[in-house]
Amino acid sequence: MAGHVILIGLPGAGKTTVGRQLARRLQLPFVDSDAVIEERLGCSIREFFEREGEEPFRDVEEAVLDELTRGESCVLSTGGGAVLRPANRQRLRARGRVFYLRSTPEELMRRLRHDRTRPLLQVADPLQRLRELHGVRDPLYRETAHYVIETGRPSVATLVNMILMQL
């Protein structure tokens, strides 16, 4: 199997957790685009967001995604907003097999309960925010993905097997 395996979905969908195990099973490198972005920025995404705002972050994100999807085959976990720009959606879909890890806002909220690092969720009502993000982005994730994987009930190992069966 050549090419990248790309995971997309909202924060808390399990892209990093599933991606690490998937990479191990496929014996491919695991790459988390947010980690590469933070390395490049020399600070956390949260700090950069607070200092510079969202658009400058999206510029760096687009450049990093372009670079990573041209590079050697890997399992790539992307940030939740990776599908916002049409150019990213086209590139991701053209350069790999794209899996949308889909969850309800309520499930995401349960997983993110104790997480204070996600800048988009630093609001008074994070569940409401997740509902809005889901409403806007669900069609974009679907447009970008080759496969939709519902993450509600299955364990991480089962999700990994579901992805492996499609490759």
Over the window 32 to 51, marking each residue x when it contacts ligand S3P by CB under 6 A and - when it does not, the resulting string is --x----------x------
Smaller CB separation from ligand S3P, 80 or 105:
80
Strands (E), the chain: 4-8, 30-32, 75-77, 96-102, 147-150
Site for ligand S3P in 59-88 (CB under 6 A): 79-81
Smaller CB separation from ligand S3P, 4 or 118:
118
Residues 6+ apart with CB under 8 A from 73: 2, 3, 4, 28
Smaller CB separation from ligand S3P, 46 or 93:
46
Does residue 96 have a known ligand-binding role? Answer: no
Q: How far is the CB of 140 from ligand S3P (least distance, A)?
A: 11
Over the window 91 to 120, marking each residue x when it contacts ligand S3P by CB under 6 A and - when it does not, the resulting string is ---------------------------xxx
Residue type, 144: T
Residues 6+ apart with CB under 8 A from 112: 11, 12, 118, 121, 126, 130
Q: How far is the CB of 2 from ligand S3P (least distance, A)?
A: 26
C-alpha torsion angle, residues 134, 128, 105, 66 (rounded to 10): 40
- Identify how many contiguous H helices and E strands the chain contains and give both numbers: 8, 5
Q: Could you list the residues that contact ligand S3P (CB under 6 A)?
A: 11, 34, 45, 79-81, 118-120
